[in-house]
Amino acid sequence: MLWIKAFHIVFIASWFAGLFYLPRIFVNLAQIPADVPADSQKERERLLLMARKLLKFTTLLAVPALVSGLWLWLGYGIGRGPGNGWLHAKLLVVLLAVGYHHVCARVLRKFSENRNTRSHVWFRWFNEVPVFLLTAAAILVVVKPF
Ligand code: HEM
């Protein structure tokens, strides 16, 4: 069980590294003017390529992160039964994290089609969301407040 938990933490950290960095690229992309001058076109293509590769990698890491969590819960029975409100709250955080991941994929599609309307300031705030999600999940699973 401890091996699964160790890899759960490793894959969670790797998944969130992608969720932290991807919006950073969006901040940079949002600073390139819509009517992209020639010299910025290269910069834009480079950022889009980086974001596509990073999204693919982040998605690949999300799968073992979630599977190992399900294994701890359903396989080893950790958090099952009454008095484990912490896991139910944590599953809500997990759903929000998966939702955030999905929104990042949609945002990247919009940038690829030059249809983004959000400012770089908006993306700076958007970038803070995974910080709150990871903090909430870590407190729930380590402290188990309820
Ligand atoms: C399907 C999703 C997930 C499930 C079912 C799940 C379930 C679990 C379970 C049952 C444990 C063991 C708790 C214990 O031994 O006391 C655990 C550990 C942990 N989980 Fe998850 N988890 C999931 C996703 C996540 C996510 C998204 C995060 C972070 C954002 C996360 C962070 C952690 C951490 C940090 C630990 C280690 C806690 C410790 O060592 O005491 N998990 N998880």
* Ligand 1 center from residue 141 Cα (angstroms): 6
User: What pLDDT is stored for residue 51 in this prediction?
Assistant: 98
- 12 ligand 1 Cβ < 6 A: yes
Q: Which domain holds residue 107?
A: 2-143
**Percent of the residues in the chain that have a pLDDT greater than 70, as a whole number:** 96
Closest residue to atom 31 of ligand 1, CA basis: 137
Mutate to test the pocket of ligand 1, among 1, 4, 8 (most ligand atoms within 8 A of CB): 8
Q: How many domains does the chain have?
A: 1
6-54: pLDDT as tens digits = 999 999 999 999 999 999 999 999 998 766 666 678 889 999 999 999 9
Average pLDDT, the chain: 94
Task: Enter the tokens of residue 2.
Answer: 């401890």
Instruction: Output 6-11 pairs: Cβ under 8 A, ≥24 positions apart.
Output: 7/64, 7/68, 8/65, 8/68, 8/69, 8/71, 8/72, 11/61, 11/64, 11/65, 11/68
* Sign of the alpha-carbon torsion through 55, 60, 63, 65: negative
* Ligand 1 center from residue 5 Cα (angstroms): 8
The secondary structure of the chain in percent helix, strand, coil, rounded to multiples of 5, reads 80, 0, 20
User: What pLDDT is stored for residue 95 in this prediction?
Assistant: 98
- 140 ligand 1 Cβ < 6 A: no
Neighbours of 22 (CB within 10 A): 24
Kindly give, in sequence order, each residue whose CB lies less than 8 Å from that of residue 82, ignoring residues fewer than 6 positions away.
none
- 130 ligand 1 Cβ < 6 A: no
